[in-house]
Structure 1
Amino acid sequence: MQQHPHTRTAGSTANPLPLRAGRSRTRRIAGLAATVAAVVGLTTLTGPGVHAADNPYQRGPAPTDSSIEALRGPYAVSEISVSSLSVTGFGGGTVYYPTSTADGTFGAIAVSPGFTAYQSSIAWLGPRLASQGFVVFTIDTNTTLDQPASRGDQLLAALDYLTGRSAVRSRIDSSRLGVMGHSMGGGGTLEAAKDRPSLRAAVPLTPWNLDKTWPEVRTPTLIFGADGDTVAPVATHAKPLYNGLPSSLDRAYLELNNATHFTPNSSNTTIAKYSISWLKRFIDKDTRYEQFLCPLPRPSLTIEESLGNCPHTS
């Protein structure tokens, strides 16, 4: 903090040496007070409950590799089961949400399973993402045989239920929504993003979709592929789907190493780490997570290849 210089009036008879000494002590005390205040401020901002002034959507402490790789984030999580009989347009599911209301509203994400699968196949994402500061709805689809376009409609119906009728609607900021899905649910994620450009983030997991061109998509999209996928091989699905997105879009492609089509069906640190970072970066506009996305992750024991646009613009 800049100190304002003291002004001495003309004709002052005070001894300048004691005056300078007194001012020096005053400056040291003021500097110490400013340092203490800064430390207190930083400490306060590291826990849930307080947001940075320049980003009202920022939630939780400053992220580290350890914090986003952990099985649980800083928020305690509760859950609600939603019966298929109480909803229309999709098959019900489970809502996971931060228990505390101290931080106000959160962004929300709907997650679809894949072909022939139920919400149990993607259930691990519920508490893992919610504990980082999101409301997460893992859904069942109308039938296990629904195709991507239908799954996209169902993801949007689930978000509409979350924000309009659910017991946690008051905890959700309806302007900050995203979608995820596995396999045909991943293809449905792209369909949902195409149909609703206001979505803030999309994360298809080993997606399957016959449509490979997506010029309509305006939603920042992170696509996960798997090098050993024989159901939706990356050469005919994940990578063409990525390439089919507008080149100007905030987009990324992350190919998992030593993985299969069904890797997203169980707890996976790499999927969680980069999904959390993407969702935080674009749903919450939290640029503290940009460090994990740009520069692009290097090939490693868990990452075969990565592509994307860096730095991000939205």
Structure 2
Amino acid sequence: MHRTIPAPPAPGSPRTARRASRLTGAAAAVAAIVALTTLTGPGAHAAANPYERGPAPSEASIEAARGSYAVSQTTVSSLSVSDFGGGTIYYPTSTGDGTFGAVAVSPGYTGTQSSISWLGPRLASQGFVVFTIDTLTTLDQPDSRGRQLLAALDYLTQRSSVRTRVDSGRLGVIGHSMGGGGSLEAAKSRPSLQAAVPLTPWNLDKTWPEISTPTLIVGADGDTVAPVATHAEPFYTSLPSSLDRAYLELNGATHFTPNSSNTTIAKYTVSWLKRFIDDDTRYEQFLCPLPKPSLTIEEYRGNCPHTS
């Protein structure tokens, strides 16, 4: 079969002009795609991850007593709630960056929110809404504290005066001692939580294979109230091996070290919350490779790289 191949159009003909126009348009489209790819590449964090908040982190910025956000606060009276004991909400003052992830923080046995209040402005200044709570009684056990942490998050996202500032899909829990055990209970009960950070946690339940929330457990080498050998360590080892998990044992620390401002606790808590609540991989560098023993770190275990 013979096929006639048409002769090429003469230069300057309308057909040539149309073809040139199409080529020019195609070239422009390709250029636009290349430009878009460049804008959404690894260097353009805001475009790649809409949850990132604040400037690119450094060792100095995550160890600083305050981050880049100015912080405001509001009090929640115990008389206005029934499922937990009220508390204080700390939040970034600026509304220009949209909503923020949030965490509820529980004190320990016999403790009040004042014992963990330092975490409020410190974490909020890094770009989180932080709710430090009082519990219904100072003697509440971990299961009760877990329920109260979840009730506080529900209040924060549904009823609080700052609810429009909170992304209800990006939430976490922190707790000290009984509150640390409570944060494990909360993560077990609500798998949708994005992060849990138990601080020198206490709980009679030693195994947590049901947890699917990325969990950083912080123990203290000198803890005689909840010794790491019978609390923090078995809690960590019982978590699923496939889970994004870590165990930080503080060096030269006691059960009550989390009750006052502590750079090491803040540094790794900020990094953990940023990595898993905000999915901000800029903070992966502080968690992987695993931190080495130092003047403040007795031991650090975990799985790297993180996948969530």
User: 1:50-81: CA deviations, max 9, x gaps?
Assistant: x6101000000000000000000000000001
Within the candidate set 245, 249, 254, 2:243 is matched to: 249
Corresponding letter in the other structure for 2:130: V
1:41-60 aligned at under 5 Å gives the runs: 52-60=46-54
Residue 170 of structure 2, aligned match among 168, 173, 176: 176
Does the CA contact (< 8 Å) of 1:109 and 1:179 recur in 2? yes
**Aligned-partner SS, 1:234:** coil
Runs of 4+ in 1 over 3 A off after TM superposition: none
Residue 131 of structure 2 corresponds to residue 112 of structure 1: no
Alignment of 1:231-242 (within 5 A): 231-242=225-236
> Distance between the aligned counterparts of 1:111 and 1:270, measured in 2?
17
Whether the 8 Å contact between 1:111 and 1:181 is mirrored in structure 2 is: yes
Distance 1:215 1:259 in 2: 28
**Per-residue deviation at 1:174?**
0.1
Matches within 5 A, 1:154-303: 154-303=148-297
The one-letter code of the counterpart of 1:189 is S
SS in 1 for 2:47: coil
Write out per-residue CA displacement over residues 185-236 of structure 1, whole angstroms, 9 at most, x where no aligned residue: 0000000000000000000000001111111101000000000000000000
Find the counterpart in structure 2 of residue 133 from structure 1.
Answer: 127
Q: Which residue of the partner structure matches residue 24 of structure 1?
A: none
- CA drift of 1:113 comes to 0.1
1:289 to partner: Cα distance: 0.2
Confirm or deny: 8 A CA contact 1:96 1:126 kept in the other structure: yes
* Structure 1 residue matching 2:171: 3-state secondary structure: strand
Deviation at 1:175, TM superposition (A): 0.1
Tell me the secondary structure at the aligned position of residue 48 of structure 2. coil
CA distance in 2, matches of 1:215, 1:132: 31
Of the candidates 53, 68, 78, which is equivalent to residue 74 of structure 1? 68
Aligned to 1:90: 84
TM-score normalised to structure 1 length: 0.84
- Of all paired residues, the percent bearing the same amino acid is 81
**How many residues are paired up?**
270
What is the Cα-based RMSD across aligned positions, in Å? 1.5
TM-score (norm 2): 0.86
Match of 1:31 in 2: none
Tell me the secondary structure at the aligned position of residue 243 of structure 2: coil
Structure 1 gap segments, 5+ residues each? 1-9, 11-33, 46-50
Q: Give the drift of 1:306.
A: 0.7
CA contact (8 A) 1:88 1:157 kept: no
What runs of 5+ residues in structure 2 fail to find an aligned partner?
A: 1-10, 12-34
Q: Distance in 2 between matches of 1:195 and 1:175?
A: 16
Write the distance in 1 (CA, Å) between the matches of 2:298 and 2:60.
21
Q: For residues 106 and 186 of structure 1, what CA distance do their matches in structure 2 show?
A: 23
Cα distance in 1 between the residues matched to 2:290 and 2:181: 24
Q: CA deviation at 1:88?
A: 2.0
Higher gyration radius (CA): 2
Counterpart residue type for residue 51 of structure 2: Y
What is the SS of the residue equivalent to 2:288? coil
Q: Is 1:306 aligned to 2:283, yes or no?
A: no
The CA deviation at 1:87 is 1.0
| 3-state SS, counterpart of residue 107 of structure 1 | strand
Which AA in structure 2 matches 1:218? S
Please give the alpha-carbon distance, in whole angstroms, between the structure 1 residues aligned to 2:200 and 2:209: 20
Cα distance, 1:120 vs structure 2: 0.1
C-alpha separation between the residues in 1 aligned to 2:133 and 2:46? 33
Displacement of 1:297 in angstroms is: 0.6
